[in-house]
Amino acid sequence: MLIYLDCDTGIDDALALAVLLARPDVTLAGVGTVDGNTTAVQAAANTLGLLALAGRSVPVSVGGGVFLGGSETVHGSNGVGGVSLPGGSVDPRPAPSLLVSLAAAHPGELHVVALGPCSNLAAALALSPSLASQVASVTVMGGAVRVPGNVSGRAEFNIANDAPAAAAVVAAGWPVTLVPLDLTMGCRWDASAIAALAADGRPLTTALSQIIPLYYDFYEEESGVREIPLHDPTAAALAVGLLTPSDAPVLGLRVDPSSGATIEDPSAATRARVVFEVEGRPGPAILETILAGDWPPST
Ligand code: RIB
Ligand code: CA
């Protein structure tokens, strides 16, 4: 399965990257980064550092977006909990160009996984009128359809950060699967995951064990429980078939261009498959997949 990942590497994006890399049947063809949890430039540096620890070489392109700041308390000053990662060199192509070129080179085979705001995807659609017909599927972590949002009563961060871009993505005519807070807030790790990753002891899992505690701190402060929701890893796991939807209707769906609300509307011209439930226990499945990854050992 050939994947283009678009992300704002962030702490849960880092976990999602590990899920994708751990799957032997997945080829990560390229990564584009977008303004969101941190700047697209910083997200690219974070992604390159994680790829280095995973022993992988994948083109990473910087994209654009709308950097609003304000996520430092959730993802840390550098987007990955303040943890220093190895360096790397970005691909010179802008992220939208990388996506367009990969889709053109692999028509009907490229699956897009978007874990941040949709700015790069919308820019790529504007760059190439044939993009939507070339892409096999699009999985977007974002939205809050039947539950409250996390940036306002109705809006979720990825969608609200660039609502016009999200509206363009939903309206593009390619097969969109939306993985909203309705599902991801219930896919969780408790604090035992930190210890499990630390005990694994390889450079990538050790780094993840150092990156995620800040995320636990934020959510413990917010909810009183030391657990984290697995927003991006859940979307990545669904995209590659690690998780199977048990309730995923195709709905008429509108994105309010000003508020970023994702509104269920049977009369809407735009439609998306919305995953509300998955089979089994997503948290343990995601952790087991990362721990089973073929990562380089400590030197
Ligand atoms: O609302 C959760 C989403 O916003 C996740 O993708 C998280 O990484 C942030 O980008
Ligand atoms: Ca993200």
Q: In CATH, what number is assigned to the domain containing residue 163?
A: 3.90.245.10
- What's the CA-to-centroid distance between 227 and ligand 1, angstroms? 16
On the question of pLDDT at 299 being above 90, the answer is no
On the question of pLDDT at 78 being above 90, the answer is yes
DSSP 295: P
- What's the CA-to-centroid distance between 139 and ligand 1, angstroms? 14
Mean pLDDT of 212-216: 98
The confidence score (pLDDT) of residue 67 equals: 87
Is residue 10 in some structural domain? yes
Report the alpha-carbon angle 46-139-183, nearest 5. 95
8 is annotated as an active-site residue? yes
pLDDT digits (tens, 9 = 90+) for 80-115: 999 999 999 999 999 999 999 999 999 999 999 999
Specify the amino acid at residue 145: V
Is residue 283 in some structural domain? yes
Tell me which residue of 103, 108, 278 sits closest to 179, measured CA to CA.
Answer: 278
8 A C-beta contact, residue 56 and residue 29? no
Calpha distance 285→268 (Å, rounded): 35
Q: Pick from 5, 6, 7, 8 the residue to mutate for probing ligand 1's pocket: most ligand atoms within 8 Å of its CB.
A: 8
The confidence score (pLDDT) of residue 145 equals: 98
Is residue 199 in some structural domain? yes
Ligand 1 contact, 233 CB (< 6 A): no
Is residue 39 in some structural domain? yes
pTM of the model: 0.98
In 214-259, beta strands by DSSP E: 227-229, 245-247, 250-255
Helices (H), 94-230: 95-105, 119-127, 131-134, 157-161, 163-170, 181-184, 192-200, 203-211, 213-223
| 70-74, 207-211, 238-242, 251-255: the lowest-pLDDT one | 70-74
- What's the CA-to-centroid distance between 44 and ligand 1, angstroms? 16
Give residue 235's Cα distance to chain centre. 7
8 A C-beta contact, residue 113 and residue 6? yes
Mean pLDDT of 168-183: 98
Residues of the chain with pLDDT > 90, as a percent, come to 97
Tell me which residue of 27, 208, 42 sits closest to 116, measured CA to CA.
Answer: 42
Q: Pick from 121, 230, 232 the residue to mutate for probing ligand 1's pocket: most ligand atoms within 8 Å of its CB.
A: 232
Quick one: angle between helices 203-211 and 11-22, nearest 10?
150
DSSP 285: H
pLDDT digits (tens, 9 = 90+) for 157-173: 999 999 999 999 999 99
Tokens (6 digits) for 206: 């050790």
Is residue 148 in some structural domain? yes
On the question of pLDDT at 71 being above 90, the answer is no
Domain ranges, residue 55: 2-292
Phi/psi of residue 251, each to 5°? Answer: -120, 150
Phi/psi of residue 245, each to 5°? Answer: -65, 140
Is residue 297 in some structural domain? no
For the chain, what is the domain count?
1
pLDDT digits (tens, 9 = 90+) for 25-41: 999 999 999 999 999 99
pLDDT confidence of 69, banded at 50, 70, 90? confident
Residues forming a β-bridge with 188: 229
Rounded to the nearest integer, the mean pLDDT of the chain is: 97
Is residue 299 in some structural domain? no
| 60-74, 122-136, 181-195: the lowest-pLDDT one | 60-74
Mean pLDDT of 256-269: 96
